[in-house]
Chain A
Amino acid sequence: MTDETYPAPRHKRITEDEAVAKLCSGMTIGIGGWGSRRKPMSLVRALLRSDLTDLHVVTYGGPEVGMLCAAGKLSKLTFAFVAPDVGPAAVLEPHFRAARQRGALACTELDEGMLLLGLQAAAWRVPFLPTRLGLGSDLPLVNPGLKTVRSPYPGPDGGEGEELIAQPAIHLDAALVHLNVADERGNGAFTGPDLYFDDLMLEAAAQRFVSTERIVPQGDLVAAAGDVTRLRVSRLHVDGLILAPNGAHPTSCDPDYARDEDFQKTYLGTAKDPALWDAFRSEWLSFPTEAGYQAALAARPTEEAAS
């Protein structure tokens, strides 16, 4: 009688570049966070230094959209807004605007709730979810595939069923999200104000990548997150786990760190002149690894870095 060989648990720890190596040009990629909040920027930086092109990004958009546009990585965007807030105000994303205005981006525009419904439909493996959102608006002009569906049940007046928008499932080839803390198996938690839609991004995707500020041993996650209700991503929906301290920089990752307003302002200013963007890209987005970027950040003069 031979002893059975038991399989080892799945090994999920990888680097940003190993995650991006699993992706292909032309893929549809969901990016978590929203606006300039808890964006998986270390993974975005890996996309930027890869040779991938022709990407279709689905996101509650922030500065990652503009960076991918400016770097020529993006050919399609599914979005309800792109808004890299600065200070208290929502501002427009200049690199994204330039790409859209010169016709370089194929766009599918949505109400922000339709994006939620599309991800949810994909996660639940149904072809669409019905909604009132979009009725009467010009969304069909910027979302030409959008169809309506007639309710098979009587309307509120007992007559014909209501006609609703049928928001199609938004299937992602890959999802990239950044969380505050995870355990070594890939269970994750948010400790900031809001999970956003990160769990749905993962559940709607074929390949699921989570970067995280820190990784704790299995069993320590509740204590690390503070409360079991913060454990909102389970390893059922995670294929690759990336340790990425400060990985959301320059976006915020509350309560670990705030948005780097100065850095973001510098980045936004690079849309004024291609030479400024080229200089920014070579200074900040051309490190061969994320470690190089983080080391350069840490080496900056500390005038305002203390806060």
Chain B
Amino acid sequence: MSSSTDLSSLIRRADVCAVAVADTFRGDGEILANPIGTIAMIGGRLARATHEPDLMMTDGEACLIANSEAIVAQPNRVVETFNPYRRMFDVVWSGRRHVMMGATQVDQYGNQNIAGLGGTPLQPKTQLLGFRGAPGNTINDTTSYFVANHGPRVFVAAVDIVTGIGYDRAAALGPIAARFHEIRRVVSNLGVFDFETPDHRMRVRSLHPGVALDEVVAATGFELVVPDGLTSTRLPTPDELRLLSEVIDPQGNRFKEVPEPA
């Protein structure tokens, strides 16, 4: 058996990110956890394999499956239910889901942009994916974001186009229209962020071990709220580390999305 000192030397940034994602789903109970992306999916599976056993999760196609592996070959799937594209809207619009999306831009109130950069809304300089389901996700369900490359062009003071709505937009809608809106967390390769401030501006919740506050400030295009007594993101437990490396992501895809910092 490794001692805890030996273990911590094996822990890499991508493992910390996965655990931070898992903690984002803590307390969600029996809902559809819908993390989109490599580490997001790995972290979601980790949450279900540990503290959130009632979560339901997709196979990325048209079924909800019980498997712990992040990527599951078709014949190995343990199918819980049929969840085709159209059925997903029933889940989303009824509020039984927590989605973790990516963001090309995210701002200080948690507005997200995945549609376009620069130019005008009708003729962006750089066309991206489109609005996808971001407006519907954020007005109906708890939403979090995962950003693998924390930098000032991603964490911007104001996004170019609001696809997923943040707290300032929700406030403008009023308490009834925005009653299902919650941006819970932003997990990046540098730290964990939330909006638990009086005016819902983004706050540093924790920094990943080895990350200095200066580094995060320099990589963020707006003023972050920094609480007194800033803490480190927790390390994976030995059991979580085993689950990650042996069951959920034995191929190590998480290290490709968030490489170990030099």
Contacts and interface: CB of A to CB of B under 8 A. Distances in A.
Given A92-B129, A97-B127, A101-B119, A137 B179 contact: no
B132 A80 contact: yes
Contacts, number: 137
Nearest to B92: A113
Interface residues of A, number: 44
Given A101-B123, A155-B176, A193-B84, A111 B62 contact: no
Contact of A194 (B62, B122, B128): B62
Contacts of B130: 61, 79-83, 109
A116 B130 CA distance: 16
A96 interface: yes
Interface stretch (A127-135, A214-222, A261-269, A273-281): A127-135
B139 A100 contact: no
A78 B139 CA distance: 22
B89 A139 contact: no
Contacts of B123: 100-101, 103
Contacts of B133: 80, 111-113
A139 B92 CA distance: 19
A213 interface: no
Interface stretch (A39-47, A156-164, A235-243): A156-164
Contacts of B165: 135-137
A21 interface: no
A114 B165 CA distance: 16
A157 B162 CA distance: 28
Interface in B136-178: 136, 138-140, 161-165, 169-170, 172-173, 176-178
B135 interface: yes
Contacts of B71: 88
Given A80-B131, A80-B132, A132-B93, A137 B140 contact: no
B86 A116 contact: yes
A262 to B, nearest CB: 21
Contact of A109 (B86, B131, B172, B179): B131
A112 B177 CA distance: 20
A34 B131 contact: no
B111 to A, nearest CB: 9
A291 interface: no
A228 interface: no
A112 B63 CA distance: 19
Nearest to B84: A194
B61 interface: yes
Interface string A104-115: 000101111110
A140 to B, nearest CB: 9
Contacts of A101: 119, 123-127
Q: Which among B127, B128, B178 has the greatest number of chain A C-beta atoms within 10 A? A: B127
Interface string A158-186: 00001100000000000000000000000
A135 B176 CA distance: 12
A193 B84 CA distance: 7
B204 interface: no
B53 interface: no
A79 B133 CA distance: 11
A142 B89 CA distance: 22
Interface of A: 34, 61, 79-83, 88, 90, 92, 96-97, 100-101, 103, 107, 109-114, 116, 131-139, 141-142, 155-157, 162-163, 193-197
12 contacts: A61-B130, A83-B130, A92-B129, A132-B93, A133-B136, A134-B139, A135-B173, A135-B177, A137-B162, A138-B121, A193-B63, A194-B84
